[in-house]
Every structure is written in C-alpha cells, then in structure tokens.
Amino acid sequence: MLARAVSLALKTGMSFRELIFTHGGQQTFEEESLRHTWWELYVVNSIMAAFWMKSEFNVYSFASDVLLPYEEAAFIDAACMPDPLTVAQFDSRLFADGKFQFSSFCYRIEAARILTRVLPLTGNHDVHHDQVQAVDNALAGWAHHLPPAKADIIYQLGEVDEILFQAHMIIQYASLFLHCSQSNLLSTPAATADIAGGQRDFHVSPYTQHTYAKKATEASKEIYTIRILLS
C-alpha cells in the first residue's frame, strides 16, 4: 500500500511545487494539504525503509522542491498561513539569525532526512569511518541546533507537541540504527540476521565498537525516556 502511494505520488509529480501550485488552485489550504501529503509520504517511507532494512529509499532518490509545511495551528486556521519556506532556507537557518520560524513538521522532516543518510551505512563493510562520523555529527547537531521554542516537546500547560515528539523518536531511532551496526552489541550472524541495524561492520576497531555500543545504548535509553512522556 505504501509503495503504491509513493509510486502514485512520484508518477503524478507531487514531488514538485509546480504541481502543487497547479492542483491547489491558488487555494492556500489545498496547497498546504498537498505539501503535507508529500512530506508525510517522505517521513513514513524513510521509517519503513529502516524497518525493512532497505538501503534503497524511493522518495529520497527523486529530486523534490516542495515547500515546507506550516505549524499545525496555522494549517487549521488557513487565514493565518504565512509564506511557506524552502528546504534550502531550512538548511541555512543557522546563518539566518532567527529570520525564519520553522514548524515542528520541518524538524520532523529533517530527522527523516538524517535517517535516510543512515540507511546506506548499515551492513555496508565498504563504508569509511568519516562517512559514519559525518552522519553521527548530524544526529548530534539536530538536537543541539533546535531553537528555544522547540527545545522542549511539552508546552507550559502540559500539552505535548506530538510532531516534535515523533521527530525526537526518529533521531534516536536513527542513532540506535547507526551505532548498533558499528558496535559489538550483537556479535553473531544469527543474532543480527533479522535485526534492523544489527549487521556489524567487522572492520571497526574494538575501541570504536565499544564507543558506538555506548551511543547505541544511550539512544535506546533516550527512546524509553521520551516514550514515557506520553504515558
């Protein structure tokens, strides 16, 4: 079902903003709905690719210039929607001095983008350490660069930002997925055959394996900590 949805979206050109402008009929709410649909497919496809242990990622392999979605509150109140922002603007946000305000959806999308960078590195013995380190830095940087307004997934009145909650979970899952494959946590082929991220790289030194094992363990603990916030 997901594969059919992705195939249909790509076939119809949903990955391009021109189609969204055309089919949105210059209706802000309709255009935003189409953007939400595209990015939701992107995020779900990345998560399922990790679950299925597939390094191929259908949506990621295609070019896309779809604008980023608004905050959910702005989506509900279509009259208050600002101009949508681009992925390029999001990527350069650290140099914008707070000029742009990005929605929780944007950080969830970024988490999925990082997860897609993890997928080709797991179970691949030809991966260079620098490639792993670059993605590891992106994982650490994601939380470090959250703006003050997104620093906590729980608002003052106790309401949970569920989109940001999902983003944190994706980041921790990506961290577990990456570090487990580089660690010595799962040491036998039988134990790793059907576990996502469990295919070890035997070229990694024992010290480095131990370091990644600690990071994988920390990620699993963080997943539990985040999860109990909703219990």
Higher pLDDT, 88 or 22: 88
Total length of the chain: 231
Residue 40 phi/psi, 5-degree rounding, is -65, -40
Q: Total domain count for the chain?
A: 1
Class of residue 229 by CB neighbours under 10 A (exposed 0-12, middle 13-18, buried 19+): exposed
Domain that holds residue 70: 2-230
pLDDT of residue 205: 66
Q: Measure the CA–CA gap between 117 and 223, rounded to whole angstroms.
A: 20
Collapsing DSSP states into helix, strand and coil, what is residue 71?
A: coil
Least confident residue range of 57-66, 117-126, 166-175: 57-66
Q: Measure the CA–CA gap between 208 and 204, rounded to whole angstroms.
A: 6
pLDDT of 148-199, one tens digit each? 989 889 887 778 899 999 999 999 999 998 888 787 776 544 444 454 555 5
pLDDT of 73-119, one tens digit each? 777 766 567 788 999 999 999 998 778 899 999 999 999 999 999 98
DSSP structure class, residue 70: -
For residues 47-63, average pLDDT: 70
